[in-house]
Amino acid sequence: MRPLLTSVAFIATSFSLVAAPSFIVDATCSAGNVSPKLYGLMTEEINHAYDGGLYAELIQNRAFLDDTKSPMNWSVVNDETSAATIALDPATPLNEKIPTSLRLTVTQATADHPAGVANSGYWGIPVHSKTEYRASLWVKTENGFAGPITVSIVSDDGRTVYASAKISGLTAEWKKFEVTLKTGNVAPTAQARFEITLNQPGAVNLGLVSLFPPTWNDRPNGLRKDIMQMLVDLNPKFLRFPGGNYVEGNKIEDRFPWAKTLGPIEDRPGHACCWGYRSSDGMGLLEFLEWCEDMKAEPLLAVYAGYSLEGGKIKVGADLEPIVTEAVDEIEYVIGDTNTTWGARRARDGHPAPFKLNYVEIGNEDDFERTNTYDGRFGQIADAIRAKYPQLKLISTIPDAKLDGRKADMADYHDYSSTETFIKKSGNYGADIKRNGPEVFVGEWAAHEETSVPPWNEGSHKLPPTPTMKAAIGDGVFMAAMERNSDIIKMQCYAPLLVNVNPGARQWRPDLIGYDALSAYGSPSYYVIQMFSRNLGDEILPVTFANTSIQGCATRDSQTGEIIVKLVNPELTPQALPIEIKGVTALKSKATVITLSASPEDTNSIRRPKNVVPVTTTLNGVKPGFNFTMPPYSVVVLKLKTR
């Protein structure tokens, strides 16, 4: 076992007032290699992360399956002289996979007084200036009614039509129509809805109605550009998906149904998401994988392991075999040759080349399963995966599990703690990690300002959806601790990543990135993660910090010789810190300093997205021993050039 103190010596948490503070970076040696995959992302469908978030679809309840009793999120459009009714029509299913449609019956309408149906999107349809939207819908009529029907983006009060197109040629058979809606020069707003109207009496059935704005890399079933840009800016090396609890589902039948998430969107019925709403599954297995490609991050795939949140579990042995097959098939979809069943399916779906995959996590938080069946479940699933894919590294969700004699290559630790707790434990963090055990994955973590209210509790909704600077300080000390130990902590990711900030949209706080229909913003924690992940060497340098409450870490870029020091000041006052870089004879006198500093309660929001952001400055007079004053309540990255 490697003694931890070779990488960090945290000498005093309660320090004497007379002893001088010090922060020493030992550049004479390296305490190991920084994991090149240290910084990644974790996501799942929670807080409308995909539907109403990253997944760019604008129509909520596009398949009319969100509620079996009424067409949720759809409403009648009419005025004093026009009239219409809408109803779910399971007797007229769109297809075998989508067993219903919406019946729109217009009894009174003219060109000046149309009637129809409207969808209010995910807390509004975002209208952007001079933008092309792709609308698609399936329509079926009776009695020779051929249209036209009009699809449009209209202001909530019905007075402004932002974009509109006519569709004719309706038939008695289901037929798909696609039109482009182009907005003019308008002020952005989300006070808008999507309408389908008739200008004469008639009845139509509507199936799978979809509306997309421009997407990242122009993928037709793609992702929202502004949120993607924020994710790419975090420089993530991996993406853990599809959960989290989302992989498990509340019930066994609600587990992430990867095979049903493939193919055209009109073949995807969606499924009940464990966070209280239905997922459209527009964000399917292929979309997750392409999302990874688009971010140049590798997938960290979590497979269902036979345990669901409400306690449903599948017996090890014959009962678990279908789940084992599901997991192995899912991996085949990701990396199988095109001559395998699922590799061929991937090719048919438009991606013949296998994706890159190194890590597979078996389950999620299986220690919540009180009867300890994980050992056997992990064993059976791991044996089958290893028999076919021996190159894959398998992750266990219970760090100390016995796993029926099998070994996990990596273990997933989750840590949601208060800022105070992270400050207390981060100085010595890692002392108890076995260096000869499985590699460490901190697959979910976040500092919470408020731990008296559970993050999923309604009470937490009184707090802003995204964290304050207080949480960012906790995040900073914890990330410094993980970076110091990144010889064994190979990967880590904050959770949850995304939140739609509209009332009623969220189930958990705090979350890293907030958004509504129109715009997105990063929390102070987002910027701390960005500062850490974008400024990283490949060698861990041992650091010793004494007589100070400042914590930190250091790495060196072996190519350029640059030494990157990260420091966190949890005090509300500035702190003078003598910094010594041992083993370096000279440093360039100018260094780059990136600083995030604010009051504990300061945060960002839709209205003030850049209230707390990092500032880059130049520091002069840098030498191997120099004094640096940490601003109050701050996270700082110092980039020191050795040549």
Using CB under 6 A, list all residues that contact ligand AHR.
Answer: 44, 46, 243-245, 364-365, 444, 495-496, 508
Tokens coding 161: 């039509």
Cα dihedral 28, 33, 36, 41 sign: negative
Nearer to ligand AHR, 439 or 511 (CB): 511
Contacts of 548 (CB under 8 A, 6+ apart): 15, 21, 22, 23, 575, 577
Tokens coding 132: 């092309």
Identity of the residue numbered 95: N
Nearer to ligand AHR, 46 or 117 (CB): 46
Task: Provide, rounded to whole angstroms, the least separation between the CB of residue 240 and ligand AHR.
Answer: 10
Strands 410-418 and 439-448: parallel
Task: Provide, rounded to whole angstroms, the least separation between the CB of residue 257 and ligand AHR.
Answer: 17
Q: DSSP of 336-356, one letter per residue? A: --TTSHHHHHHHHTT--SPPP
Nearer to ligand AHR, 343 or 496 (CB): 496
Nearer to ligand AHR, 89 or 254 (CB): 254
Rounded alpha-carbon distances, angstroms, from residue 119 to 42, 93, 141, 562: 31, 20, 20, 54
Nearer to ligand AHR, 46 or 286 (CB): 46
Nearer to ligand AHR, 55 or 246 (CB): 246
Nearer to ligand AHR, 164 or 421 (CB): 421
Neighbours of 388 (CB within 10 A): 11
Nearer to ligand AHR, 342 or 508 (CB): 508
Identity of the residue numbered 271: H
Contacts of 465 (CB under 8 A, 6+ apart): 47, 499, 501, 506, 509, 510, 511, 514
Task: Provide, rounded to whole angstroms, the least separation between the CB of residue 456 and ligand AHR.
Answer: 8
Helix, strand, or coil here: 544?
strand
Residue 164 phi, psi dihedral angles, 5° rounding: -155, 150
Task: Provide, rounded to whole angstroms, the least separation between the CB of residue 365 and ligand AHR.
Answer: 5
Nearer to ligand AHR, 243 or 614 (CB): 243
Helix, strand, or coil here: 383?
helix
Please tell me the distance from the alpha carbon of residue 467 to that of residue 511, in angstroms, as a whole number.
7
Task: Provide, rounded to whole angstroms, the least separation between the CB of residue 395 and ligand AHR.
Answer: 13
Task: Provide, rounded to whole angstroms, the least separation between the CB of residue 271 and ligand AHR.
Answer: 16
Tokens coding 245: 């609890």
For helices 469-484 and 419-426, give the axis angle rounded to 10 degrees: 20
Task: Provide, rounded to whole angstroms, the least separation between the CB of residue 512 and ligand AHR.
Answer: 11
Residue 99 is given by DSSP the state: -
Task: Provide, rounded to whole angstroms, the least separation between the CB of residue 128 and ligand AHR.
Answer: 31
Query: Is the distance from CB of 469 to CB of 603 less than 8 angstroms?
Result: yes
Task: Provide, rounded to whole angstroms, the least separation between the CB of residue 416 and ligand AHR.
Answer: 7
Tokens coding 391: 């190159």
Task: Provide, rounded to whole angstroms, the least separation between the CB of residue 42 and ligand AHR.
Answer: 7
Half-sphere CA count of 76, side-chain side, radius 13 A = 19
Task: Provide, rounded to whole angstroms, the least separation between the CB of residue 283 and ligand AHR.
Answer: 15
Q: E strands of 2-114, at which residues?
A: 8-10, 22-26, 41-42, 74-77, 83-88, 102-108
Please tell me the distance from the alpha carbon of residue 543 to that of residue 539, in angstroms, as a whole number.
12
Task: Provide, rounded to whole angstroms, the least separation between the CB of residue 412 and ligand AHR.
Answer: 9
Nearer to ligand AHR, 57 or 412 (CB): 412
Rounded alpha-carbon distances, angstroms, from residue 484 to 37, 419, 536: 14, 19, 11
H-helix or E-strand spanning residue 545: strand 543-546
The closest alpha carbon to 7, from 568, 532, 555, belongs to 555
Nearer to ligand AHR, 336 or 510 (CB): 510
**CA-based end-to-end distance of the chain:** 35
Nearer to ligand AHR, 332 or 365 (CB): 365
Nearer to ligand AHR, 364 or 604 (CB): 364
Query: How large is the C-alpha radius of gyration of the chain?
Result: 27
Task: Provide, rounded to whole angstroms, the least separation between the CB of residue 32 and ligand AHR.
Answer: 29
Task: Provide, rounded to whole angstroms, the least separation between the CB of residue 499 and ligand AHR.
Answer: 11
- 84-95 b/e (C-beta count within 10 Å ≥ 16 → b): bebebbeebebe
Rounded alpha-carbon distances, angstroms, from residue 135 to 121, 179, 503: 13, 5, 27
Nearer to ligand AHR, 326 or 365 (CB): 365
